[in-house]
Amino acid sequence: MTLRRRFRFYLLQKGRRGFTLVEVLMAMAIAASMTGLLITSLMNAMSMRQRALSLNRAITMAKKKMHEIKALNKTDSGSGEFQGSPGYRFAYVIREQELDLQKIADELGAGNAVANSAAGKYFKERNSTAKSATGLTFKLLHFHVEVFFNEKEKYELDYYRGLGI
């Protein structure tokens, strides 16, 4: 017997031709809860899409600003708003930093190997006049850009350029 025939047989056997009020209310409750879950999922998806679009736009703006300030090649700082993009602000800092390779190697546990290497000896001889304790110091320009969006969120971008030994 098919499911349809069984259902028809059940209805005829009971002597009724429809659903009871309890059955209808249960079906409506199930449908309402499923609809609520679906609407919640759609709202979350739309919110995540909007956040992804905002972040993508912030990344693009940070890259453009980084491209602009890389041409400065000097220490500087500034902030402002992006024209044509309300709600997006930026701040940047360009500063000199020193990178001591020997200290980094010591922290990583490879200090002796770097100090005794041919490259380490070469740099120590070349940097003998430098004020560095180890002689393996490089000067860098550190470019840092922050883009603020959605009132609370920000995206940061860093770039380093060597100034020589």
pTM for this predicted structure: 0.64
- How much is the pLDDT for 89? 95
pLDDT surpassing 90 at residue 14: no
- How much is the pLDDT for 127? 61
pLDDT digits (tens, 9 = 90+) for 97-147: 887 777 777 777 776 776 677 766 666 666 665 555 556 677 889 999 999
- How much is the pLDDT for 74? 87
Q: Which domain holds residue 15?
A: 3-164
- How much is the pLDDT for 124? 66
Output the average pLDDT for the chain: 84
Handedness of CA 111, 112, 118, 124 (dihedral sign): positive
pLDDT surpassing 80 at residue 66: yes
**Total number of residues shown for the chain:** 165
- How much is the pLDDT for 27? 95
pLDDT surpassing 60 at residue 86: yes
pLDDT digits (tens, 9 = 90+) for 24-38: 999 999 999 999 999
Nearest to 135 by CA among 110, 158, 96, 165: 165
Q: How many domains does the chain have?
A: 1
The mean per-residue pLDDT over the stretch 41-45 comes to 96
The mean per-residue pLDDT over the stretch 85-105 comes to 86
Nearest to 69 by CA among 164, 148, 146: 146
Which residue in the block uniquely carries the two structure tokens 């609407």? 39
